[in-house]
């Protein structure tokens, strides 16, 4: 049987503890922190789609990025239905924030908190990273190349523990709510599947 060990994934060093504070990556490197991020986009094609909402856990309100009705109407049916029902559609129509300003706000947060190599964390975070690389280069310049992807742990647990209780929680598909669900999920895996050393 495969056993996931805390020492392998360094869970004890980086797991988020509680909903109001980010645990430092290690006491010896105070410039590294987990940066829990979630983005909502008009789609998943970074060459064609754009960012609509960006949230950083426990820092400031989610950033809603201005989008024209033409852009929003061009989204696929799933996005149209989801973002109309959860309010994001209207918030992006009303927002005055352009993507350059959003990038500045995120970068200013990193500078203000002296985070030089933040480690991006979230669910399927590589997709968010692609959009951030393209649209928020100032923010990305403060990030480490490493990332913590909750989805990767989900895949491993699915493979190694066939009879496990399936983590199946509906996410609101709003950035801040999705971050909180990701943290709940990784805490669930830690408590249920990681050895206590």
**Domain CATH number, residue 177:** 3.30.420.10
How is residue 19 annotated by DSSP? Answer: S
* 174 within domain boundaries: yes
Query: What six digits make up the tokens of 171?
Result: 């996410």
Could you give the CA distance from residue 14 to residue 94 in angstroms, rounded to a whole number? 37
Report, as residue numbers or ranges, the catalytic residues: 145
The whole model's pTM is what? 0.79
Could you give the CA distance from residue 197 to residue 195 in angstroms, rounded to a whole number? 6
Q: Which has the minimum average pLDDT: 1-10, 102-111, 120-129?
A: 1-10
Q: Which has the minimum average pLDDT: 19-28, 35-44, 75-84, 98-107?
A: 19-28
Q: What H or E segment, with its residue span, contains residue 105?
A: helix 99-112
* 92 within domain boundaries: no
* 77 within domain boundaries: no
Strands 63-64 and 24-26, bridge-based pairing: unpaired
Could you give the CA distance from residue 66 to residue 101 in angstroms, rounded to a whole number? 11
Domain count, the chain: 1
Mean pLDDT taken over the chain: 82
* 93 within domain boundaries: no
* 69 within domain boundaries: no
Whether the per-residue pLDDT at 144 is higher than 90: the answer is yes
Query: What six digits make up the tokens of 11?
Result: 């869970």
* 76 within domain boundaries: no
Range of the domain at 162: 6-62+98-193
């Amino acid at each position: 049987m495969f056993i996931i060990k805390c020492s392998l994934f360094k869970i004890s060093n980086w797991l988020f503890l509680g909903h109001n504070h980010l645990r430092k990556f290690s006491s010896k490197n105070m410039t590294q922190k987990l940066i829990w991020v979630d983005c909502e986009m008009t789609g998943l094609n970074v060459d064609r789609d754009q960012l609509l909402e960006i949230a950083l856990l426990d820092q400031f309100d989610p950033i809603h990025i201005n989008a024209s009705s033409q852009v929003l109407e061009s989204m696929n049916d799933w996005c149209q239905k989801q973002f109309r029902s959860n309010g994001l559609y209207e918030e992006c129509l009303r927002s005055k924030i352009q993507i350059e300003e959003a990038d500045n706000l995120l970068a200013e947060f990193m500078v203000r908190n002296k985070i030089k190599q933040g480690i991006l964390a979230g669910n399927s975070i590589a997709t968010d990273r692609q959009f951030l690389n393209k649209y928020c280069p100032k923010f990305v310049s403060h990030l480490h190349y490493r990332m913590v992807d909750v989805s990767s742990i989900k895949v491993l647990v699915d493979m190694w523990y066939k009879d496990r209780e399936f983590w199946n929680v509906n996410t609101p598909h709003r950035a801040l709510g999705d971050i909180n669900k990701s943290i709940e999920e990784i805490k669930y895996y830690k408590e249920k599947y990681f050895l206590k050393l």
